[in-house]
Amino acid sequence: MKTKLATLFGLIGWFALVLQYILILKNSPGRSTLDTTIRYFGFFTILTNTLTAVYFTAVAFGKNVKPATHTAVTVYLTTVFLVYQFLLRGLVELHGWDMLADELLHTLLPILTL
Residue 1 clears pLDDT 80, i.e. is over it: no
Q: How many CA atoms lie within 13 A of 29 on its CB side?
A: 0
Convert the pLDDT of each residue in 48-102 to its tens digit: 999 999 999 999 998 888 989 999 999 999 999 999 999 988 888 889 999 999 9
Residue 17 φ then ψ, to 5°: -65, -45
Name the residue type at position 17: L
Name the 3-class secondary structure at 81. Answer: helix
Name the residue type at position 24: I
Q: What is the C-alpha separation between 85 and 93, in angstroms, rounded?
A: 14
Q: What is the C-alpha separation between 96 and 80, in angstroms, rounded?
A: 21
Per-residue pLDDT, 91: 87
pTM for this one? 0.91
pLDDT-based confidence at 26, cuts 50/70/90? very high
